[in-house]
């Protein structure tokens, strides 16, 4: 089974750029909030994230609620704009091609990095952090952009190779996360904010050049007229909304809807990731270096875990996605509870270890969903998830910001128990999907190949069925 890299290289570069600058951007936001908005001593504010003592601990508690509020507004702006555009980008790409949306997404990444350089170079209000987020208008938002990339891979693969190709794609992002997070704080200490964001801009530029000159279009049959008017075609939206609810054989619709619902609830719990940075800084007095060290370890574990789950268990031993997902969900709950109980650094690391069986969950879930529907419906289903992510994103951010700020003086980590509760609901929903699938049929899912994936010597579409029984 050959492998020719396509979107894996640019998404690695883009993820590396994002993670190299993400925690640095958060640190800059806290610093600017401290002395520009709250008018504390600039010299003392500059120590936040770099020095831990009684004064910085007290100052962190005072600054954290305001900085998290600014971050919340930024998330809402991204999500609202992304939700609107996501309604149109994926249906448009189904008709006119994936490549234009992908190119626009990487252009947006370059422009965003340029705005970050301006933010770092001049002593601007921390509210300026919202300006780079407006580049979501070019890509439809992170969730929508990733959806198009997954659809691109779906166009190029058949059901047998799709799981591991999505896994490689996720590993490329994980590698970018690992390298970016592990080096960001050290790079900042060795240089300055402007230099870090400039390196991020350079990485985005290389990714854009790769996409423009080396990434081919994945759709062989696409429309070429009415490109602008076709972007706002409402019939495409109606079809996208109807797709998850179509009648399907052997309880497949019920399994699909329960799987999608569990994934959407997962987006509701994603706000915890945005609060984690503030949580460990406030409760455990982690410096930026300590945080990036943990992120490095966490991502190394995640990469090895994903290889073990996706390649060894799923691809080699042929253990079906649905069971690996269920096990991963169970351990996610245990891991989150450990985070909530943590009072020492080692307990945070133990939580990361406990989360190992959940590695590769995103790849497994998307692979499963792609096998429950027709090939031409995959992008529409992924778009539905993307819209859900954009809608639930701000709601999640609001909930977690409220929980964190409410209990910050009691226990900053209490929000983790809310996350564990959501994960428990997700586990039960997916368990119900497993039960329905096992009782309904001995054919867990059907994957319909479209004409683009048929070998040239075949005259008809082939329906490829996985006949493993529960």
Q: What is the pLDDT of residues 198-223, one digit of tens each?
A: 999 999 999 999 999 999 988 877 77
Q: What is the CATH number of the domain that holds 252?
A: 1.20.1250.20
pLDDT at residue number 232: 64
Residue with structure tokens 């965003």?
Answer: 112
Q: Pick 272 or 136 by higher pLDDT.
A: 272
pLDDT at residue number 432: 93
| 348 close to 416: Cβ distance less than 8 angstroms | no
Cα distance between residue 191 and residue 317, in whole Å = 47
Residue with structure tokens 């639930």?
Answer: 392
pLDDT at residue number 8: 92
> Domain count of the chain?
1
pLDDT at residue number 459: 32
Find the mean pLDDT for residues 64-79: 85
Is pLDDT at 61 greater than 70 in this prediction? yes
* 50-64: burial string, b at 16+ Cβ within 10 Å, e else: eebeeebeebbeebb
Give me the helix-helix angle, 321-341 and 345-354, nearest 10°.
170
Residue 451 lies in a domain: no
Least confident of 33-42, 144-153, 254-263, 420-429: 144-153
pLDDT digits 0-9 by tens, 378-389: 777 887 887 787
Confidence label for 15 from pLDDT (cuts 50, 70 and 90): very high
Q: Which of 121, 113, 140, 125 is nearest to 18 (CA)?
A: 113
Is pLDDT at 353 greater than 90 in this prediction? yes
pLDDT at residue number 380: 78
Q: Which residues contact 277 (CB under 8 A, 6 or more apart)?
A: 23, 26, 291
Q: Which residues pair with 466 in a beta bridge?
A: 445
pLDDT at residue number 32: 94
Find the mean pLDDT for residues 361-382: 81
Tell me which residue range forms the domain holding 319: 8-217+241-445
Chain mean pLDDT for the chain: 83
Q: Pick 121 or 306 by higher pLDDT.
A: 121
Residue 417 lies in a domain: yes
pLDDT digits 0-9 by tens, 435-464: 988 876 544 444 434 433 433 333 333 333
Residue 304 lies in a domain: yes
pLDDT at residue number 381: 85
Rounded-to-10 torsion of CA 125, 127, 130, 131? -30
Residue 222 lies in a domain: no
Is pLDDT at 374 greater than 70 in this prediction? yes
pLDDT at residue number 424: 96
Find the mean pLDDT for residues 417-444: 84
Residue 224 lies in a domain: no
The number of residues making up the chain comes to 470
pLDDT at residue number 236: 65
pLDDT at residue number 464: 35
Cα distance between residue 75 and residue 72, in whole Å = 5
Residue 257 lies in a domain: yes
pLDDT at residue number 228: 67
Least confident of 12-26, 179-193, 256-270, 438-452: 438-452
Most confident of 59-63, 198-202, 358-362: 198-202
| 262 close to 409: Cβ distance less than 8 angstroms | no
Is pLDDT at 154 greater than 70 in this prediction? yes
Residue 229 lies in a domain: no
Find the mean pLDDT for residues 181-188: 87
| 236 close to 364: Cβ distance less than 8 angstroms | no
Spacing of C-alpha 396 from chain mean position: 14
pLDDT digits 0-9 by tens, 284-331: 888 888 888 898 888 888 888 888 887 788 777 888 888 899 999 999
pLDDT digits 0-9 by tens, 217-267: 888 777 777 666 666 666 667 777 788 888 888 788 898 999 999 999 998
Find the mean pLDDT for residues 395-402: 88
Residue 425 lies in a domain: yes
Is pLDDT at 140 greater than 80 in this prediction? no
Q: Percent of the chain having pLDDT more than 90?
A: 33
Tell me phi and psi for residue 447, to 5 degrees: -115, 120
Q: Pick 407 or 117 by higher pLDDT.
A: 117
Question: Do strands 463-466 and 445-448 pair parallel, antiparallel, or not at all (unpaired)?
Answer: antiparallel
Is pLDDT at 277 greater than 90 in this prediction? no
Beta strands in 70-130 (DSSP E): none
């Amino acid at each position: 089974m050959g492998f020719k890299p396509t979107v894996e290289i640019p998404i690695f570069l883009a993820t590396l750029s994002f993670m190299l600058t993400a925690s640095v951007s958060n640190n800059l936001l806290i610093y600017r909030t401290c002395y520009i908005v709250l008018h504390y001593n600039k010299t003392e504010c500059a120590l936040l994230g770099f020095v831990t003592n009684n004064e910085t601990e007290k100052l962190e508690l005072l600054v954290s609620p305001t900085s998290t509020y600014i971050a919340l507004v930024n998330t809402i702006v991204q999500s609202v704009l992304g939700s609107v555009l996501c309604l149109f980008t994926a249906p448009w790409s189904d008709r006119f091609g994936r490549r234009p949306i992908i190119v626009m997404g990487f252009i947006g990444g370059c422009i965003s990095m340029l705005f970050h350089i301006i933010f770092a170079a001049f002593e601007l209000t921390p509210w300026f952090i919202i300006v780079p987020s407006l580049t979501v208008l070019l890509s439809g938002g992170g969730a929508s952009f990733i959806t198009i990339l997954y659809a691109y891979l779906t166009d190029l693969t058949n059901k047998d190779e799709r799981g591991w190709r999505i896994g490689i794609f996720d590993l490329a992002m994980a590698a970018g996360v690992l390298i970016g997070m592990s080096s960001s704080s050290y790079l900042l200490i060795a240089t300055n904010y402007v230099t870090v964001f400039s390196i991020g801009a350079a990485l985005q530029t290389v990714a854009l050049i790769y996409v423009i000159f080396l990434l081919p279009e994945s759709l062989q049959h696409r429309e070429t007229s009415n490109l602008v008017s076709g972007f706002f075609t409402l019939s495409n939206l109606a079809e996208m909304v109807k797709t998850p609810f179509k009648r399907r054989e052997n309880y497949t619709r019920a399994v699909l809807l329960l799987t999608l619902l569990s994934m959407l609830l997962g987006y509701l719990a994603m706000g915890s990731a945005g609060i984690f940075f503030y949580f460990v800084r406030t409760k455990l007095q982690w410096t930026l270096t300590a945080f990036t060290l943990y992120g490095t370890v966490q991502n190394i574990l995640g990469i090895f875990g994903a290889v073990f789950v996706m390649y060894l268990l799923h691809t080699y031993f042929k253990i079906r996605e649905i069971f690996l997902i269920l096990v991963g969900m169970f351990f996610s709950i245990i891991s989150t509870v450990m985070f909530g109980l943590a009072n020492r650094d080692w307990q945070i690391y133990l939580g990361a270890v406990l989360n190992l069986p959940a590695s590769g969950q995103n790849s497994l879930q998307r692979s499963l969903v792609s096998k429950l529907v027709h090939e031409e419906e995959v992008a529409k289903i992924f778009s539905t998830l993307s819209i859900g992510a954009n809608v639930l994103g701000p709601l999640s951010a609001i909930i977690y910001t409220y929980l964190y700020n409410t209990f910050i003086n009691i226990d900053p980590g209490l929000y983790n128990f809310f996350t564990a509760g959501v994960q428990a609901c997700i586990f039960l929903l997916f368990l119900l999907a497993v039960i329905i699938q096992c009782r309904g049929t001995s054919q867990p899912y059907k994957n319909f190949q479209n004409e683009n994936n048929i070998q040239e010597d075949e005259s008809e579409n082939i329906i490829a069925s996985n006949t493993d029984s529960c």
